[in-house]
Structure formats: structure tokens, C-alpha cells
């Protein structure tokens, strides 16, 4: 999945011949899963039509401060557009537009939006070779670099003037590749390895029966997918579940029993930076597993259980550099019990679920958790979707690496 997937991209088109290539560029953004809005300078409309870009972007194209066509929405709110965007890309960026960006010469909607935008800004220059080398252009590049904007360097080749040299706008495919590589390199969990456990475990009684629990595995899969989107490479050790990983950076190891989960976790633990135990591991398993299906008896039937190994406690005992996060599902004395688990299992953070909270726990799309760190700092969170809880947990991980 592209790092651009789900990103809100504001494409600023200025008036150079390369503007015709923005039709392909918008298509490639959409193909990568991005949401696109386009702002055109008045001059750019001589090179590509707003209708083309609005059709391809599936959104109205913005061009002037005032909306001629819509009585109710007269003013094009550049501040809103700037705040909407996750990234702004000015392509093609002509010498004129670059100089206006550098000096704040705010005479069109594109520049007003650029000045309002709080997101990362990229620009793909397009001009003739001598213009590209001119000290004035270079000084615009320097100013924009100082503002934290990123240049997508022009390419060499035949230019509209008939001359050949550096100044062609980077090809749309190359702009997309540049953005993907740059965004990926800046992801907050880039280069980090995370081990996650998810789902229930099943402990066999005989070939057809088992002891299990109602955990769906959703919380662990949500954390795994979100961590991969933030750049981490993830090993997800999952008990029986219907969920699938949606990101190629999540390697799923399917297990059934607590012992298999224990073994898989210990295979990977030494190599990871973070481990998050979201699985509902069976605490007990049948002491013996019948090889044949157990027949009904006239009287009561007793299965003798023995304890499984506590995976999280075992990881806590051998941990070195790893940031270790556990979950606690409690029904009474929640905070005290959770604090006890932090100490017993040598955790850095515990995510406490209280079954007394409505909307928390197994089988729900939502969760209400309280974070308790190893210094016993308590942070209750609001009821939110499990995806949003996954983001909160990963924000704790990011904060740890930025400490």
C-alpha cells in the first residue's frame, strides 16, 4: 500500500507548459489512494482545463478567491484548504510562482493557500534551462528550503523552447516516487521493529473440542496495521481470528495454542524494539489432550487444567532495550491490579480495560482504556474506536523514542 493512501493532497498548478502533465499526476495520486483537491493559477488554465482536473480529482477545482458559479459559497476559503491538506504539492512550479512563494506576493489563491498551509510543502520546478540556473531562481529555492519546503528536482531533457537541458518538470511517476520515498523516510516508526500478539488462544480438550475465549483479535490487528502505516516492520503473532493484515509490512504468524504463541514470540523478541501483548491468552489448558473424541458419560465430566506459560511475564523477564506494553482486563480494583501487573511483568506501559466501562472489551468496535506507565502515571482516555485507541498506543511508543 502506498504511503500516500488516505492522504489529503492539495495540488497547486501554475502556468507552464508542464501543466498538461498534471492530468497524469492527479490520476497517479488517486491510484495511490490519495484524496486530491486542485488549485490553479489563472495562467495555468491556458495549459490544462479545470474540467479535466476536476473530473480526474473528483473534486471542484479552485482558482479564484471568489466563486462565480455558486451564490451560496462565494468565497473560496484558502485557510480551510490549507488546513485540510496533509501535504501540498506545487507542480509545475514556474519561476514566477516560486518567486511569489519565496516573497509572499499573495496575488492569487494558490499563494494565499500556500501561506496558510501548515502541512509539508513540495514543489516541482518547471522552466527553461537558463531560468532554472538564474541566481533569482536559485535564491527562491534557497528561501523555500529555509521555510522547510522540499524541492522535487527538475529533470534534464528537451524543453518547450527547443533547447535541451535541466528544467523539465519531473515526470508524474517520478514525482509520486519522490513523494513516497520522502514521506516514508520521515515516518515516525521508520526502522523500528514491533512484535504484537493478538486474538485468543485455543487449548484442545480432544480432537474436536477446545477451551477458548471471545477475543476477536481486532485490537491487535488495528495496532499492527497502524504501526506498519507509521513505518514499523511488524511481526503479528495471532491466535485464531477472522482478521487479516492490510499492510505488507505486517508479517502474520498464525498460532493456535498459548504454547505456540509463547514459542513464536520468543523467536522474534530479541530482535524487536517494542512488544505489545494484546492477545487474550488462555491462562489454563487441559493437562492431557484426548487423542479420540471424548464420549458422553452418564455423570459429570471433569477436565483437569494446568497453567500455561505467561508470555508477557516471560518477555518482561528477558527484556533488554525493548519497550514492553501489556493489556489488563479487569472487573474490580482495576488500577491496583494493573499496577501489580506492571511490576510483576516488568512492563513500561499497561493498557487497562475495565469491563465496568460501557463499550470496552471483547467483540466491541470501541474501547475505553486507561494508560498506566511504569512510574504509575495514570491517564484515562475517552471511549473511542479501536483504531483510535491503536493510534493512542502508538503515540506512546513514538513519544518513548522521542524522549
φ and ψ at residue 341, rounded to 5 degrees: -70, -35
Q: Answer yes or no whether residue 341 interacts with ligand CTP by CB under 6 A.
A: yes
Q: Answer yes or no whether residue 371 interacts with ligand CTP by CB under 6 A.
A: no
Among 199, 200, 326, 361, binds ligand CTP (CB under 6 A): 326
Among 236, 281, 349, 372, binds ligand CTP (CB under 6 A): 281
213 is catalytic: yes
Residue 21 or 339: the one with the smaller Cβ distance to ligand CTP is 339
Residue 62 or 341: the one with the smaller Cβ distance to ligand CTP is 341
Among 48, 179, 252, 328, binds ligand CTP (CB under 6 A): 328
Strands (E), 119-158: 121-125, 150-151, 155-158
Q: Answer yes or no whether residue 129 interacts with ligand CTP by CB under 6 A.
A: no
- Active-site entry in 77, 213, 337, 346: 213
Interface pattern 241-270 for ligand CTP (x via CB under 6 A): -----------------x------------
Number of helices (H), then strands (E), in the chain: 13, 21
Longest Cα–Cα distance in the chain: 96
Q: Answer yes or no whether residue 390 interacts with ligand CTP by CB under 6 A.
A: no
CB atoms within 10 A of CB 333: 10
Instruction: Render the burial of 121-134: b for 16+ CB within 10 Å, e for the rest.
Output: bbbbbbbbbebbee
Q: Answer yes or no whether residue 215 interacts with ligand CTP by CB under 6 A.
A: no
Nine-digit cell string for 151 = 524541492
Tell me how many residues contact ligand CTP (CB under 6 A): 15
Task: State how far the alpha carbon of 241 is from the alpha carbons of 209, 296, 325, 330, 338, in Å.
Answer: 17, 29, 21, 23, 26
Minimum distance from CB of 327 to ligand CTP (Å)?
Answer: 4
Peptide bond into 92 cis (omega under 30): yes
Residues designated as active site: 213
Residues of this chain that interact with ligand CTP (CB under 6 A) are: 197, 258, 277, 279, 281, 283, 308, 310-312, 326-329, 341
Amino acid at each position: 500500500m502506498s504511503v500516500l493512501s488516505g492522504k489529503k493532497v492539495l495540488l497547486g498548478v501554475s502556468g507552464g507548459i508542464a501543466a498538461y502533465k498534471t492530468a497524469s499526476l492527479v490520476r497517479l495520486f488517486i491510484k495511490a489512494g490519495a484524496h486530491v483537491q486542485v488549485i490553479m493559477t489563472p495562467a495555468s488554465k491556458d495549459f490544462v482545463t479545470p474540467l479535466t482536473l476536476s473530473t480526474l480529482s473528483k473534486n471542484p477545482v479552485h482558482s479564484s478567491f471568489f466563486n462565480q458559479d455558486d451564490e451560496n459559497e462565494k468565497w473560496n476559503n484558502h485557510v480551510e484548504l490549507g488546513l485540510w491538506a496533509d501535504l501540498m504539492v506545487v507542480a509545475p512550479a514556474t519561476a514566477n510562482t516560486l518567486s511569489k512563494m519565496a516573497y509572499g506576493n499573495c496575488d492569487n489563491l494558490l499563494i494565499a493557500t500556500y501561506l496558510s498551509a501548515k502541512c509539508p510543502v513540495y514543489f516541482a520546478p518547471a522552466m527553461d534551462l537558463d531560468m532554472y540556473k538564474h541566481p533569482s531562481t536559485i535564491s527562491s529555492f534557497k528561501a523555500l528550503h529555509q521555510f522547510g519546503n522540499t524541492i522535487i528536482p527538475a529533470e534534464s531533457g528537451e524543453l518547450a523552447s527547443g533547447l535541451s537541458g535541466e528544467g523539465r518538470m519531473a515526470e508524474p511517476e517520478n514525482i509520486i516516487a519522490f513523494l513516497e520515498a520522502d514521506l516514508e523516510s520521515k515516518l515516525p516508526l521508520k526502522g523500528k521493529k514491533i512484535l504484537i500478539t493478538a486474538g485468543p488462544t485455543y487449548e484442545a480438550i480432544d480432537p474436536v473440542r477446545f477451551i477458548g475465549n471471545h477475543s476477536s483479535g481486532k485490537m491487535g490487528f488495528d495496532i499492527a496495521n497502524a504501526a506498519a502505516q507509521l513505518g514499523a516492520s511488524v511481526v503479528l503473532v495471532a491466535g485464531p481470528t477472522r482478521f487479516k493484515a492490510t499492510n505488507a509490512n505486517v508479517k502474520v504468524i498464525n498460532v493456535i495454542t498459548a504454547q505456540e504463541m509463547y514459542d513464536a514470540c520468543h523467536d522474534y523478541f530479541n530482535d524487536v524494539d517494542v512488544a505489545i501483548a494484546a492477545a487474550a491468552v488462555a491462562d489454563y489448558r487441559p493437562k492431557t489432550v484426548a487423542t479420540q473424541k471424548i464420549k458422553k458419560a452418564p455423570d459429570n465430566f471433569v477436565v483437569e487444567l494446568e497453567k500455561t506459560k505467561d508470555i508477557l511475564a516471560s518477555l518482561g523477564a528477558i527484556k533488554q532495550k525493548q519497550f514492553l506494553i501489556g493489556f489488563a482486563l479487569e472487573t474490580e480494583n482495576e488500577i491496583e491490579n494493573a499496577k501489580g501487573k506492571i511490576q510483576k511483568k516488568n512492563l513500561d506501559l499497561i493498557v487497562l480495560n475495565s469491563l465496568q466501562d460501557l463499550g470496552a472489551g471483547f467483540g466491541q468496535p470501541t474501547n475505553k482504556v486507561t494508560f498506566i506507565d511504569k512510574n504509575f502515571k495514570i491517564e484515562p482516555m475517552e471511549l473511542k474506536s479501536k483504531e483510535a485507541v491503536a493510534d493512542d498506543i502508538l503515540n506512546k511508543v513514538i513519544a518513548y523514542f522521542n524522549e
